[in-house]
A and B are shown apart, each in its own frame.
Chain A
Amino acid sequence: MNKDKTLVQIALYAALIAALGLLPKFNIPVAGGVPLTAQTLGLMLAGVMLGPVRGFLAVALFILVVALGAPLLAGGRGGLGVFAGPTVGFIIGFPFAALVTGLMMQMLKKTSLFVGVFIASVVGGILVLYAFGIPGMVAMTSLTFAGASKAILVFIPGDLIKALIAALIAQSVARAMPGIIPSR
């Protein structure tokens, strides 16, 4: 694909993740009222829609612009402060979540799109993300590893629902624009 197109795709997808986070309307009330934003949904879909490399770059670009001072993380957070906060591990893990989601999509070529996206999102968007997020919390808060793990257990049901929604969305987009998902 030509270079301009790749560059624009990456930048616009980063903008899409930002747009998803700026919309408080998308909170999905589950897990005892913990509001969940569509932003992590955007990470899962980055790997699915763009593939591992471009997905990684799109999310990394998003994180960079947040670091530069744009309050684009869900809830209007941004700036260098978030890199000194308890969720820094998650933020650094964002691009890797997209990367692994994209890689999983390539490995799951033979499954149906729905199942593939769901599994890839669970592995990339939950397992990998938490593998970065929990050590980050431990480092920043002097919680124990077990304590930090328990503290974020509450987000798991919501994240599973998001993986499901990511699969539904990917399926609808693929129906509307056949051939748009790189691994299929």
Chain B
Amino acid sequence: MISLYLSHSSWLHRWPAGIKLGLLAGCSMMILPVVRLDLMIALLLATGLLYTTLGDRGWRHLEMLRPLLPFLAVIMLFHLWAASLYEGSVSVLRLVIMFLLANLITLTTRMSDMMAALQPVFRPFQWLGLSARSLALAVALMVRFAPVLVMVMNNLDEAWRARGGRKHKWRLIVPLIIQAIRLSDHVAEALTARGGSSGITVRPQKNQEITNNEQR
């Protein structure tokens, strides 16, 4: 499924999600004020080491940094222009370390465990009338239907190309939105038919057949 979670097990997988999140917050707080380059390099090496302990595929996940590279380059350039190479390097390394540590949690924690650990964060929303159950249902629905909409998109794209469409692909967003709206009507109906987001509060009598026989 669409998740970064590594399905094989490592020592970090076995730690409770709440503790991992707490440690992450603590580490980030400690790293933020560090301004020494030698310390940063040491921390980076330590983080890299943590990745290798995830098993033989551990290192491979450092490539998640790639989408971050343009940003890091821009940040470096601005520091070179406004300050110095030293400050730029510290800044970039700090970002890389914090990013890698945070993703380490994501790699080793199941989405459902993360959800459970984040529950206190959602409490304010519950006062607004959004129940934990609705939220869990919404997350499940989204995870379920994201690939469906990608498939719809691919089908639209194929149909569009079959008719010679090449340019202005953003136009496909229009039928995609329309299909998503229609889909949401159907799904809502199906959800209601199965008792809806608030669950079933009343059920028919179980022993009805027996009562009928007695009446006869």
- Which of A18, A22, A80 lies in contact with B106, CB distance below 8 A? A80
Q: Cβ of A69 < 8 Å from any Cβ of B?
A: yes
Decide: A84 near B2, CB < 8 A? Known: A11-B145, A141-B91, A142-B87: no
Is A3's CB under 8 angstroms from B178's CB?
Answer: no
Bound CA–CA A85/B72 (angstroms): 10
- Which of B74, B91, B141 lies in contact with A12, CB distance below 8 A? B141
Is B139's CB under 8 angstroms from A65's CB?
Answer: yes
Is B4's CB under 8 angstroms from A15's CB?
Answer: no
Bound CA–CA A25/B2 (angstroms): 19
- Which of B68, B99, B146 lies in contact with A18, CB distance below 8 A? B146
Bound CA–CA A165/B81 (angstroms): 36
Is A140's CB under 8 angstroms from B95's CB?
Answer: yes
Q: Cβ of B100 < 8 Å from any Cβ of A?
A: yes
Shortest distance between the CB of B145 and any CB in chain A (Å)? 4
Q: Cβ of B198 < 8 Å from any Cβ of A?
A: yes
Is B75's CB under 8 angstroms from A69's CB?
Answer: no
On chain B, the residues within 8 Å of A129 by CB distance are none
On chain B, the residues within 8 Å of A84 by CB distance are 28, 95, 98-99, 101-102
Bound CA–CA A145/B150 (angstroms): 38
Q: Cβ of A30 < 8 Å from any Cβ of B?
A: no
Q: Cβ of A10 < 8 Å from any Cβ of B?
A: yes
Q: Cβ of B143 < 8 Å from any Cβ of A?
A: yes
Interface stretch of the complex, out of A70-78, A94-102, A113-121: A70-78
Q: Cβ of B192 < 8 Å from any Cβ of A?
A: yes
Q: Mark B1-43, 1 if CB is under 8 A from A, else 0.
A: 0111100000000000000000010001000000000000000
Main secondary structure of the interface of A (DSSP, over half): helix
Shortest distance between the CB of A107 and any CB in chain B (Å)? 23
Is A25's CB under 8 angstroms from B157's CB?
Answer: yes
Q: B101: nearest residue on chain A (CB-CB)?
A: A84
- Which of B4, B5, B75, B148 lies in contact with A141, CB distance below 8 A? B75
Decide: A69 near B3, CB < 8 A? Known: A84-B99, A86-B75, A169-B170: yes
On chain A, the residues within 8 Å of B185 by CB distance are 5
Shortest distance between the CB of A1 and any CB in chain B (Å)? 9
Is A62's CB under 8 angstroms from B178's CB?
Answer: no
Q: A7: nearest residue on chain B (CB-CB)?
A: B197
Bound CA–CA A150/B177 (angstroms): 34
10 extra interface residue pairs, beta carbon distance < 8 Å, beyond A18-B149, A38-B170, A143-B91: A5-B188, A8-B187, A9-B184, A11-B142, A14-B138, A16-B176, A65-B111, A65-B142, A143-B79, A173-B178
Contact sample, A vs B, 29 pairs, CB 8 Å cutoff:
A3-B134, A9-B184, A11-B145, A15-B141, A15-B144, A18-B2, A18-B142, A18-B146, A18-B149, A19-B146, A19-B152, A19-B153, A22-B146, A26-B169, A26-B170, A65-B142, A68-B3, A69-B114, A70-B4, A79-B4, A81-B102, A81-B103, A84-B98, A84-B101, A87-B71, A142-B79, A143-B78, A150-B78, A169-B173
